[in-house]
Amino acid sequence: MAGLTNILQLSQRSLMANQAAISTVGHNVANANTDGYSRQRVNLAATTPDQTSYGYLGSGVTVQSIERIRSSFLDTQIRSTNDSLGKAETQQSILSQVETMVNEPSDNGLSAELGDFFNSFQDLANSPEDSSARNVVVQKADLLSQTFQQLSGNLKSLQSNTLSDIKTQLTQINSLTSEISTYNQQIIQANAAGGSPNDLMDQRDLAIQNLSELAKVTVSEDKQGTAQVSIGGIMVTSASGNIPLSETIQGNQVTISDGDAQHGIDVTSGKLGADLEAYNETIPNYLSTIDSLASTLITQVNTLHESGYGLGTPPSTGVDFFTGSSASDIAVNSQLENNSNLVAASKDGSTGDNTIALAISNLQNSKVMNGNSSTMGDAYNSFVTTLGTTIDSANNTQSTQTLVLQQLNEQQSSVAGVSTDEETTNLIQYQRAYQASSEVINVVNTLFQSILDMVQ
């Protein structure tokens, strides 16, 4: 038997439930543009009915739970796309810098300057008795040496920039894992107190997502609700806190560890993975390619040049053309800079002989690189082509992964995003329910009045 008081209580519960629902609508709308926010839903349930002689009489409504709506499957996919995209983007940015340094195809890249250098020896062969042709040879060789040195210097500074990027990323990773640990603790407490800490979970998911751009992460959740995040097989956040990562530089190699030297962490993906690969492999490979090109040029030209004769009485001989042994220190012998007549063109000392000049210019077509299988031009050409192909493939990965990420984000936003239209509709629904419940209280009030009037 429902007393009037019961109806009042029922209506009050309804007011409170609808108020909670309206408040959630407000929260959703307020966070419609918040990064990582998942829409929340109030789950209403009918309260236990009263048993009466004519059956069960409803006793109203209560808020059962407020849950966040999000697909954790999509989250996993977004994280794994994030790390491939992060890697591709970083690769793209590093390699594009190399591409700018290489400056090909152009009229003042290494390829053109190598050609100019060899051709200047042919000009010398045309007039071996001429000192102005020698000045041109020295000048072209200067340009070529400078280009080698610049390229090598630029690659080395890119390498050291990459190292500081690696350090910055480790700082970011450590600050993110510590953030995740803090959320973990708050979530454990909230869970223990009962109720789902939706907003904390959103923020923790966002932090993990940001982490996944830097390195590939795997995430599992334990019973208490702790997110256990691992990078390269090593757990970096657990119930007991986070484990900071640090870098060790040994020789030319950077390795990442959790502080314990035996726990080397193999990071191959994400921005950090891309930087590590660039620092440890890609840039050293490029450097060694141009170093071997420069050192081959130095030895081959010097061997021929030493055996030849320049101008002068008696004609100079046994003079090195280049000094140095790699791309970083290749330079034209300063003796030649001061006196270009020391440039050798002749094989026997006679001023009109051009045999040495021809032989040096012919180095252009000799297979002296890669175990005598390719010319210097070919070797450089294939370096440029490989560089181009690698960038091209990083570009492709980047655009594909961007598309995939866009689609995944769209799907996640379709599940977890706030639709203002939907919220507005819900708002009307809850508003009307609230208004109707208020009306019920009004009616009960008049009923009370009627009873009181009866007594009068």
With binding defined as CB under 8 A, does residue 142 bind another protein? Answer: no
Conformation bin of residue 50: beta by default, left when phi > 0, alpha when psi is -120 to 50: beta
Does position 348 interact with another protein (CB under 8 A)? The reply is: yes
Site mask, another protein, residues 74-103, x = CB under 8 A?
---------------------xx--xx-x-
Residue 414 is a binding residue for another protein (CB under 8 A): yes
Q: Is the dihedral of CA 259, 264, 270, 273 positive or negative?
A: positive
Q: How far is CA 359 from each of CA 111, 113, 124, 371, 417, rounded to the nearest angstrom?
A: 20, 18, 12, 20, 72
Does 197 sit behind a cis peptide bond, omega within 30 degrees of 0 on the bond before it?
Answer: no
Separation CA 172–CA 158 (nearest Å): 21
Q: Which is nearer to another protein, 284 or 388 (CB)?
A: 388
204 φ, ψ (degrees, to nearest 5): -65, -40
* Count of C-beta atoms within a 10 Å radius of residue 432: 11
Q: If binding is defined by CB under 8 A, does position 429 make contact with another protein?
A: no
Contacts of 206 (CB under 8 A, 6+ apart): 35, 36
The answer to whether residue 67 forms part of the interface with another protein (CB under 8 A) is: no
Q: Omega of the bond prior to 49 within 30 degrees of 0, cis?
A: no
- Choose which of 6, 47, 93, 119 interacts with another protein (CB under 8 A): 119
Picking from 109, 141, 119, the residue whose alpha carbon sits closest to that of residue 362 is 119
* Residues numbered 367-406 forming contacts with another protein, rule: CB under 8 A: 377, 380-382, 384-389, 391-392, 395, 406
Q: How many residues comprise the chain?
A: 456
Q: Binding to another protein by residue 126, rule CB under 8 A?
A: yes
Q: How far is the CB of 264 from another protein (least distance, A)?
A: 33
Dist. CA 285–CA 254, nearest whole Å: 15
Question: Which residue is listed with tokens 């053109």?
Answer: 112
CB of 319 to another protein, least distance (A): 20
Longest dimension (CA), the chain: 144
Among 188, 331, 427, 441, interactor with another protein by CB under 8 A: 427
Q: Which of 2, 32, 46, 192 binds another protein (CB under 8 A)?
A: 32
120/437 with CB nearer another protein: 120
Q: Helix, strand, or coil here: 3?
A: coil
CA 331, CA 328: separation in Å to the nearest integer? 9
Q: Which stretch binds another protein (CB under 8 A): 76-84, 121-129, 187-195, 204-212?
A: 121-129
**313 counts as binding another protein under rule CB under 8 A:** no
Query: Applying CB under 8 A, which of residues 299, 365, 445, 449 lies at the interface with another protein?
Result: 365
Q: What is the closest distance, in whole angstroms, from the C-beta atom of residue 412 to another protein in the complex?
A: 9
The answer to the question of residue 33 lying near another protein (CB under 8 A) is yes
State the minimum distance, in angstroms, from the CB of residue 371 to another protein: 21
Q: Which is nearer to another protein, 120 or 149 (CB)?
A: 120
Q: Which is nearer to another protein, 243 or 387 (CB)?
A: 387
- Judged by beta carbon, residue 88 or residue 170, the one nearer another protein is 88
Q: Give the separation between CA 396 and CA 277, rounded to whole angstroms.
A: 19
- Tell the residue number behind the tokens 């050409």, with chain if given: 381
Alpha helices in 194-268 (DSSP H): 198-214
Kindly list the distances between the CA atom of residue 384 and the CA atoms of 83, 101, 103, 150, in Å, as whole numbers in the listed order.
Answer: 27, 11, 10, 16
Q: Please identify, using beta-carbon distances, which residue of 14 and 38 lies nearer to another protein.
A: 38
For another protein, the closer of residues 113 and 275 by Cβ is 113
Interface positions with another protein (CB under 8 A): 32-33, 95-96, 99-100, 102, 104-105, 111-112, 114-116, 119, 122-123, 125-130, 346, 348, 350-355, 358, 361-362, 364-365, 377, 380-382, 384-389, 391-392, 395, 406, 409-410, 413-415, 417-422, 424-425, 427-428, 431
